[in-house]
Amino acid sequence: MPEQEKNTGNSELTSAELDMLLDEVDEKFPSLPEVDIPEKSPVGESGEVRRMFSREQIASLGNIELEVRIELGQTTMLLSEVSNLRPGSVVILDKHVNELVNILVNGKAVARGELLVVNGYFCVRIKEFL
């Protein structure tokens, strides 16, 4: 993938990231019609999306890959502290073990969930949408 503008900690997509996502959709689904979507109409709140697109068109969007990340926490460190990190160093984050973790889709926080371990794998149980 070509070098792209990175989202550095901001939970909202930059205009460049949004343009790249829209270009990717246009490349993969050139036959989708262009429509004006009402500005404050959350998906699912009304049947607006279902009336604008056929069931097949909506289903075809299911093939778009999105990056999903789980944010366990954050911290701020001095450059001298970072340069002294070694194998075995412990970095303390700003979240308690029982706090909900952030779920990010393409760099944007969309939900929060409970961190779990199932069959030796980390996983997240979604508790709320933002």
Say what the pLDDT of residue 11 is: 52
Amino acid, single-letter form, for residue 17:
E
pLDDT > 60? residue 75: yes
Tokens of 4: 């792209």
- The span from the first CA to the last CA of the chain, in angstroms, equals 29
pLDDT > 70? residue 125: yes
Tokens of 84: 């002294």
Which of 53, 72, 65, 54 has the alpha carbon at shortest distance from 28?
65
pLDDT > 90? residue 37: no
Residue 22 phi/psi, 5-degree rounding, is -65, -40
Instruction: Give the global pTM.
Output: 0.52
In the chain, the domains with their CATH numbers are: 12-65 (no CATH), 66-130 (2.30.330.10)
The proportion of the chain whose per-residue pLDDT surpasses 90, expressed as a percent, equals: 39
pLDDT > 70? residue 47: no
